[in-house]
Amino acid sequence: MKPVIVGTAGHIDHGKTALVKALTGIDADRLEEEKRRGITIDIGFAHLDLPGQTGENLRLGFVDVPGHERFVRNMLAGIGGIDLVLLVIAADESIKPQTREHFDICRLLSIERGITVLTKSDLVDSETLEVVRLEIEEFLRRSFLDAAHSPIIPVSSLTGAGLDQLKQALIKAAAEVHAKDSGAIARLPVDRVFTMKGFGTVITGTLISGTIHKDDELEAFPSGQRTRVRGIQVHGQSAEQASAGERTALNLAGVATQQLERGMVLALPANFHSTNRLDVSLSLLHSAKPLKDRARVHLHAYTSETIATVTLYDERQIAPGQTAFAQLRLNDPVLLLPGDRFIIRQFSPVVTIGGGAVLDATPLRKAEKSVQQRFLGILASSDAPSVLRARIERRGGGGLSLTEAVAETGWRREQINNYLRDPIAHDAIIPIGDLLVAASAIETVKSVLASTLAKFHQQNPLVAGMSKEALREALDAEPGVFGYVIESLANAKKAEISGELVRQPGRGVVMKDEEAESKQIIERAFASAGLKVPALQDVLAGLKVDKARAQKLVTLLLRDKVLVKISDDLVFHSEALQGLRRQLGAEKSKSPKMNVARFKDLTGVSRKYAIPLLEYLDRERITRRVGDERVIL
């Protein structure tokens, strides 16, 4: 059964609710105040099953909206997810202010299909009816409701005249509606929240994408509250699942009614993020006043409403009828994705002035305006692989993870992987684990790494190479990208990796004559001292080189394990320590126990050296301390 959501639009008292009741038998006015006052205040719902043109049954879900100018905000909460619209115009009044505003809203939301319904046709004679029809045709000319391809049908909800013709027109229009993607990640904007006795918390909404199953866990945005689906109803009937395009009611567990409200969105968890910033393509109505940079507006998207500040990218203002790129900075976070439509209304007085489409719900905060404009141009006019490539390229060497790509685009991982195989993206994007990185960014990191190494060797001729961590920090590269780059350079013989050091190919320590001489002096000083070593600073003080170079020479000797540092103050020659190991091996056959006094007698050193040496031997697992003694292992 194909689900299609039909919305009403039109001026107050033009018979929208009566028309829905005449078609479905359901009174969409559910509030006591609505029945008492005889006007629709909030959105109402009804449904109707009809046979489709191809034998497939149609399930039409009607969203009836209020027509009064004071309740346009409620109208906007209901019309966001519809597939086609019934523009309702009373034959005895013709086009009125909310006819125009509702029609503008439909166009701004890019609703593609609809039917114009001329209600109350029984109240006027045929001549008047024809005059009104001609007036409406002129009003709708060159729009999606142009009479050349969209019918204008006179009806009477009182007598039933024209209803059969309207149903046939609905069947035809519904056949042209593209089914929403039930395989996408589920999103359900909430339009009603209430408590049902015996069930608890219930929400309703139009499922705009994906599928929700009984017992699914959902996340409420922007609050982050988690909940479980206890039960599902689709158009008033219990169901095991709800699919995109269906009017859906969910009985939720683990969440109180007070924790949910209209404007929230339920979605499968761990996929999306709420946002306070949206980069958009924004169009202003011809009837609107110019919109200045930094103007505040009311933003409506699906069932949400908040205040937004409009920041224009390349204009001081948007002229009536003009379209421009802008950033909307929101007072309240929302969950919206690229492609979602929105409406803006003037801050005061509150009238509809424009709308548009979300291009990017995750704008980078430090992007230059010119760069961001080029990026938005790609998002607005390019195919999916080009968009994916642009999103990855703007991240530079940091890349974009698959998880982030899903959150930015709303595409499933399978879709993203398919786009990566497209020729546009295949050679331009490099997968590194779960990270997607632009090939151009990899080349930039390689170039910067090579120049960083060259500069390091120039400034540090006595150091064999730069540590991996210091090099990564200098590049500010993501660990996976850094690993990929140095491995690539090593394979191409453009860098060498030695343990934790990275160096230019064939590059070693380059010493001047006085540096080489100083290195030999340091080594001889400790080699000749045995275990009675001099203070390191005393040795360095007698060298011809400056203190900084002397320290680097010591670092080289320590790295090559010629010298061994056993404490902050004591350095020994490695051969002296090897000799000590052999001495202890010989002593073990006499007695495996060794105290400080015996160690001093064996080595001839004072307590100043004995204690640090014994602690070093403990660390090396040559001895083990037991009380005041050591056991030779």
**Position 453 in a domain:** no
* DSSP codes, 174-201: HHTSPPP-TTS--EEE--EEEEETTTEE
Same domain, 53 and 170: yes
pLDDT band of residue 325 (cuts 50, 70, 90) is very high
* Residue pLDDT, tens place only, 106-152: 999 999 999 999 999 999 999 999 999 999 999 999 999 999 999 99
**Same domain for 88 and 227?**
no
Helix 439-459 / helix 479-491 crossing angle, nearest 10 deg = 70
Cα–Cα–Cα angle for 372, 377, 383, nearest 5°? Answer: 125
Instruction: Judge whether 505 lies within some domain.
Output: no
**Domain count of the fold of the chain:** 5
482 in a domain, yes or no? no
pLDDT tens-digit map of 140-171: 999 999 999 999 999 999 999 999 999 999 99
**Where does a domain end: 227, 247, 267?**
267
User: In DSSP terms, which residues pair with 229 in a beta bridge?
Assistant: 252
The CATH number of whichever domain residue 137 belongs to comes to 3.40.50.300
Measured between alpha carbons, how far is 106 from 108 in angstroms, rounded to an integer? Answer: 6
Look at the chain and count its residues: 633
Same domain, 219 and 168: no
Q: Are residues 171 and 192 in the same domain?
A: no
Query: For a pLDDT cut of 90, what percent of the chain falls above it?
Result: 54
Residue after which a domain boundary falls, among 175, 199, 218? 175
Residue 214 counted as domain residue: yes
Specify whether 147 is located in the same domain as 213.
Answer: no
Q: Name the pLDDT band for 513 (thresholds 50, 70, 90).
A: low
C-alpha to C-alpha distances, 267 to 218, 236, 264, nearest whole angstrom = 5, 21, 10
Q: How many CA atoms lie within 13 A of 175 on its CB side?
A: 12
pLDDT of 68 higher than 90: no
Let me know whether 38 and 165 are in one domain. yes
Cis peptide before 363 (omega within 30 of 0): no
Q: Which of 56, 356, 279, 330 is nearest to 179 (CA)?
A: 56
Do 143 and 37 share a structural domain? yes
Tell whether 293 is covered by a domain.
yes
The rounded distance, in Å, linking the Cα atoms of 234 and 226 is 22
Sign, Cα dihedral of 466, 471, 474, 475: positive
- Let me know if residue 103 belongs to a domain: yes
Residue 231 binned pLDDT confidence (cut-offs 50, 70, 90)? very high
Locate the DSSP E strands across 65-184.
Answer: 84-90, 113-119, 152-154
Q: How far apart are CA 162 and CA 558, in angstroms?
A: 96
- Within this chain, do residues 247 and 169 fall inside the same structural domain, yes or no? no
Residue tagged 């996976």 (tokens): 480
- Tell me: do 169 and 33 sit in the same domain: yes
Section 603-608 average pLDDT: 89
Of 150, 175, 200, the residue that ends a domain is 175
- Contact assessment for residue 335 and residue 221, using Cβ atoms and an 8 Å cutoff: yes
pLDDT in tens, 88-105: 999 999 999 999 999 999
625 forms beta bridges with: 630
552 & 599 share domain: yes
> Any idea what the CATH number is for the domain that residue 245 is in?
2.40.30.10
Look up the domain containing 193 and give its range. 187-267
- pLDDT, average across residues 338-367: 93
Q: Tell me if 504 is assigned to some domain.
A: no
Residue 34 shares a structural domain with residue 116: yes
Residue 216 and residue 122 in one domain: no
Give domain status of residue 481, yes or no: no
Q: How confident is the model at residue 435 (pLDDT cuts 50, 70, 90)?
A: very high
Tell me the pTM.
0.79
Tokens of 72: 């346009």
Query: How far is it, in rounded angstroms, from Cα 220 to Cα 81?
Result: 18
- Comparing 135-144, 264-273, 351-360, 455-464, the range with the smallest average pLDDT is 455-464
Please give the Cα distance from 627 to 441 (Å, whole number).
Answer: 59
CATH number, position 564: 1.10.10.10
